[in-house]
Amino acid sequence: EVQLVESGGGLIQPGGSLRLSCAASGFTVSSNYMSWVRQAPGKGLEWVSVIFIVGNTYYADSVKGRFTVSRDNSKNTLYLQMNSLRVEDTAVYYCASTRDYAFDLWGQGTLVTVSS
């Protein structure tokens, strides 16, 4: 079965760091564009970051300089390193494979809560 499974969310204080993981099965992370999309409680979807097949990375302005997307090909896993976390980063974070400029396969999401 083709699926993405996120993990690593939790409660973190403002200014802290957290690393999210997205484990893929049934397809190869390194052969796909892979994105992170988040959704604050009761709000809409927000694109966060993408990593291209060749390794280029891009970020939304709201997270640029604080978040880093990466992948481990040997583990077939996508990561999102989140530093200097803010209250407004509180959200469910989804990873998604990205094909034809769209997000086609989504994980179930992992909740990050930034609060003191």
Rule CB under 8 A: which residues touch another protein? 35, 37, 44-47, 50, 52, 56-58, 60, 94, 99-104, 106-109
Taking the least distance from each CB to another protein, the nearer of 16 and 52 is: 52
Min separation Cβ 47 and another protein, Å: 4
Taking the least distance from each CB to another protein, the nearer of 39 and 76 is: 39
Going through 1-116 in order, the beta strands assigned E by DSSP cover 3-7, 10-12, 18-25, 33-39, 45-51, 57-59, 67-72, 77-82, 91-99, 102-106, 110-114
Min separation Cβ 108 and another protein, Å: 6
d(CA 46, CA 21): 18
